[in-house]
Amino acid sequence: MQKNKIRYMDIKDLDYVVEIERENFKDAWSFNAFKTEIENSELTHYFIVEDLEKIIGYFGILIVLDECQIHTVSVDKEYRQNGIGSEIMEFIIRFSLDREVKTVNLEVDVNNKAAISLYEKYKFEKVGYIKDYYINPKSDAYIMEKKLKIKGEING
């Protein structure tokens, strides 16, 4: 399978990003929320996934010291089940290892079985539970975490 291009998100990408965001999340971020994140934070990193110059997904992470927090991962519905989630996870893990990150963590809706399965494939473990974490629709979240070794592997 051909790998997609992953690059830093730019303001010119935001119309497409917001379109995917609205398609996938009821409590979607606005254009300005993404703009603020990519312009004003030295700690956050937002990326786009492209297939032949079309934006098909995006993700954002925060790195502080030796910890990476995955803020968001979203793939255009037409492109799901094609390994894009795996490409994103492998990129995040490599990016984190390059910065000597020791822990990658995230929150995920307890009802999002596809995402949970993806994270478990990459050896993330459930380490916590947050009641009513999501508002629209109301839902709980798992806190999931993966410990990295500086000379670690993508899958272990």
Q: What is the pLDDT of residues 87-134, one digit of tens each?
A: 999 999 999 999 999 999 999 999 999 999 999 999 999 999 999 888
What Cα–Cα distance (Å) separates residue 25 from each residue in 10, 33, 57, 124, 154? 21, 14, 13, 23, 28
Whether 19 has a pLDDT exceeding 90, the answer reads: no
Q: What is the pLDDT of residues 90-99, one digit of tens each?
A: 999 999 999 9
- Kindly report the pTM of this predicted structure: 0.87
Question: What percent of the chain shows pLDDT beyond 90?
Answer: 56
Whether 152 has a pLDDT exceeding 90, the answer reads: no
Cα atoms in the 13 Å half-sphere on the side-chain side of 154: 9
Whether 61 has a pLDDT exceeding 90, the answer reads: yes
Q: So where are the chain's domains? A: 5-107
Q: Which one is predicted more confidently, 153 or 142?
A: 142
Tell me the CATH architecture of domain 5-107. Answer: 3-Layer(aba) Sandwich (3.40)
Note the pLDDT of residue 50: 94
For 102, residues 6+ apart whose C-beta sits below 8 A from its C-beta are 66, 67, 147, 148, 150
Q: Which one is predicted more confidently, 80 or 144?
A: 144
Cβ atoms within 10 A of the Cβ of 14, count?
A: 23
Q: What is the pLDDT of residues 21-35, one digit of tens each?
A: 888 887 777 888 888
Note the pLDDT of residue 155: 52
